[in-house]
Structure formats: C-alpha cells, structure tokens
Amino acid sequence: MLAVPLPSQILAAAIRLTSFLLAGVIGMGSAQAQGWTHVEGEARAVLPRPAPATGFASAALACEGQSWTLILAPAEQADPSPLEGVMTLLVGTRRFEAEARGVEASLAIGVPYAAIEPLRSANRLVIEKSDATELVRFPLAGSRRAITAAEALCSPRELPSANRIELTSHSAYLQLARELRREDIADFRLSTSSEPAIRAGMLEWAPERRVLFAELCGSSWYYGSSGCSIVGFVAEPGKDAAGPQAWRLAYESEGAHLYSDPDRSSGGWPDLLAYPLRRGDPLRYRWTGDAYQVTRDMPMPSPLSASSDNDGVVGGLRR
C-alpha cells in the first residue's frame, strides 16, 4: 500500500490540530479512555488516551480537503524528528504504509484513504516504526461512529489550478480520440444501450513526447465508482500521427482530475498526478520508458509549478 504524502495544506491542518491537542481542548475524562469520540462540529475524532509508556499524551484523527491526518501529541515537549519517515499502520489484519513528519512538537501521520474503512470495523490500530518496532497502539471501540461523523464534516478537496490537463468535448483531437476508443465505445453501447460521453486533450512537450488522453463517461455500473475511464496514447516515432495506427496505449485509469508535474520527470516525460473524482488518495504516475505506471515515490509538490509560456500551452497542455 502506497504511503500517503503530507503536502503543505495538510501540514497546515496538522499544525492546527496540534494546537488543538496541546491546548487541552480534548476532554481528559473517562470518555476519552473508553473509546473514540467525535469533536462536535469538527471533522475530527479523538482517540483513547495512549498508554503512558508510549510517551504520547493524546491523539486525534482529522480530515481536511478529503485527506486524513493522525496527530500524536507528546506527554512532554520533545523533538519528533527522530520518528519521521515511513511507518506502518496495522489495522486489524491489514497493513498500510504512511508517512510520518514532525509538526511543531507533535507527530503527523498521513493516513491512506484505503485505511479509513478498516479503521471503522477492526478492533485495534497498531503503529510500527520503520524498524518494525511498535510505537503505539489504540483500541478502535467507537471508531465507526466517530470517523463517520468527522467524514461528514470534511471539507471538499481543493484542486491545484496550475498544470491541469483539461479534457474537453470540443478538443481538436476529439475525432482521433473517438477512433482510438472505437472498440470501448462499441462495448459500452452493447452493454448499456446508450452512448458514453467523450472528452479529449493533448499533453505535449515536444513532437516526440506527447500524450493524447481520451475519456469516456457513462454508467458507474460499467466504469466503476467514478463513472469514467481515461486512457492515454503516445505516438510511435516515424508514423503519421494524424491516424489511429500511429498511437499506442500508455496510460489507463478510472475517472480522475489529471495534472502534469513538470518539476518531476523521467526521461523527459513529466510525472502525472491523478486526483480521484470522488474520495481517495491522489496517485502519481511515472514514465517507465514505455508507459506511465503508478509509482511508490509520491512526494506532492504544492503548489504545482505553472508554465510561464504564453503560446497556448498551459503546463504542457495544448488545448
């Protein structure tokens, strides 16, 4: 399971949550000891008090921008930097990698969205350090109600404005995209007796480095929870790019908000970032020399840098 990075906006939320913990807003009575509790009016859940031997006095799980952060506040002022790095969250029998970073005097852990449902239903959470030794553990009694209440109040995801790959229904490449996905369209028509909506966009850095994205949207029963499917094609060198025979598959995902990241690249091909249309963690795709694949290396620069050109190309995207 990929470790969830802590971009700057999540770190800002972690700082606010740290202040919340250290100020003693969390109740110190029996409610905290018995199980998880929801902080009324906030997208936060308070965990039971950790055992004194762990060195932590309190903990809370917060959601902001559809991203989840677990904050561990120390019993005494201490430097959390020795604990920074990738940790493992053991939720019941499942394991999730998570990035930990010191935020002021506390430890902030980015919780993968895939771990949220297990956190509601399992009976314990164990956090292991990178050397596989146990850092702290918590019972999960009351977690379903507390997490569900916090999630209902979580703020919407704030998407970057720079380097977004705009897919439109009036793209100059729409007909080519339709031809490239002709079989997919036919399969959808046969299964649903309807036509999918199609959008397209070209991401271009040089004649030999460009990706044509073709999105089909329709039934969530057919395409999954997002209701969409995005496929990217790259042109074969030396072939006529005006026809579908010149293009081959190089990217595939469910529906997502797509971005390029010109600050990180491989072989001259910038990374791609895919933010889910609904809930979930963003994914980073990296060029492998033949296609784009999800990478475990997921640092998320924030904000994504913008192109300074004024030639109709926005972050490498030619509309």
Could you report the per-residue pLDDT of 85-111, keeping only the tens digit for each? Answer: 889 999 999 999 998 998 877 899 999
Confidence of residue 206 (pLDDT cuts 50, 70, 90): confident
Residue 164 DSSP one-character state? B
Indicate the pairing of strand 56-64 with strand 44-46.
antiparallel
Cα 170 to Cα 167: distance, rounded to the nearest angstrom: 9
Residue 168 DSSP one-character state? B
Provide DSSP, 76-106. S----GGG-EEEEEEETTEEEEEEEEEETTE
Cα 311 to Cα 140: distance, rounded to the nearest angstrom: 55
* pTM greater than the 0.75 cutoff: no
Q: Quick one: which of 5, 3, 17, 8 has its CA closest to 105?
A: 17
Residue 242 DSSP one-character state? T
Instruction: Give me the residues paired with residue 91 across strands.
Output: 94, 125
How much is the pLDDT for 25?
A: 40
How much is the pLDDT for 17?
A: 57
Confidence of residue 19 (pLDDT cuts 50, 70, 90): low
pLDDT, tens digit, for every residue of 241-284? 888 999 999 999 999 999 999 889 999 999 999 998 877 888 89
Domains of the chain in sequence order: 8-152 (2.60.40), 174-318 (no CATH)
In contact, 123 and 222? CB cutoff 8 Å: no
- Three-class HEC string of 7-71: CHHHHHHHHHHHHHHHCCCCCCCHHHHHCCEECCCCCEEECCCCCHHHCEEEEEEEEECCEEEEE
Cα 77 to Cα 79: distance, rounded to the nearest angstrom: 7
Higher pLDDT residue, 9 or 43? 43
Higher pLDDT residue, 115 or 30? 115
